[in-house]
Amino acid sequence: MRFPRLLLCLGVWALCGSAKPTERKERVVREAPLSAREHDDAQSFDYDHDAFLGADEAKSFDQLTPEESKERLGKIVGKIDEDGDGFVTVEELKAWIKFAQKRWIYEDVERQWKGHDLNEDGLVSWEEYKNATYGYILDDPDPDDGFNYKQMMVRDERRFKMADKDGDLAATKEEFTAFLHPEEYDYMKDIVVQETMEDIDKNGDGFIDLEEYIGDMYSQDGDADEPEWVKTEREQFVEFRDKNRDGKMDKEETKDWILPSDYDHAEAEARHLVYESDQDKDGKLTREEIVDKSDLFVGSQATDFGEALVRHDEF
Most confident of 12-26, 132-146, 222-236: 222-236
Within a domain: 187 = yes
Within a domain: 226 = no
Q: Is residue 138 very low, low, confident or very high in pLDDT (cuts 50, 70, 90)?
A: low
Within a domain: 306 = no
pLDDT average, residue stretch 171-178? 97
Within a domain: 143 = yes
Within a domain: 59 = yes
Three-state secondary structure of the chain = CCCHHHHHHHHHHHHHHHCCCCCCCCCCCCCCCCCCCCCCCCCCCHHHHHHHHCHHHHHHHCCCCHHHHHHHHHHHHHHHCCCCCCCECHHHHHHHHHHHHCHHHHHHHHHHHHHHCCCCCCCEEHHHHHHHHHHHHHCCCCCCCCCCHHHHHHHHHHHHHHHCCCCCCEECHHHHHHHHCHHHCHHHHHHHHHHHHHHHCCCCCCCEEHHHHHHHHCCCCCCCCCCHHHHHHHHHHHHHHCCCCCCEECHHHHHHHHCCCCCCHHHHHHHHHHHHHCCCCCCCECHHHHHHCHHHHCCCHHHCCCCCCCCCCCC
Within a domain: 74 = yes
pLDDT tens, position by position, 262-274: 789 999 999 999 9
Per the structure, the count of domains in the chain is: 1
Distances in Å between the Cα of 134 and the Cα atoms of 116, 148, 154 are 12, 12, 11
pLDDT tens, position by position, 277-308: 999 999 999 999 999 999 999 999 875 433 33
| Residue 186: domain span | 45-207+250-297
Within a domain: 142 = yes
pLDDT tens, position by position, 186-215: 999 999 999 999 999 999 999 999 999 999
Within a domain: 7 = no
pLDDT of residue 222: 62
**pTM flag (> 0.85):** no
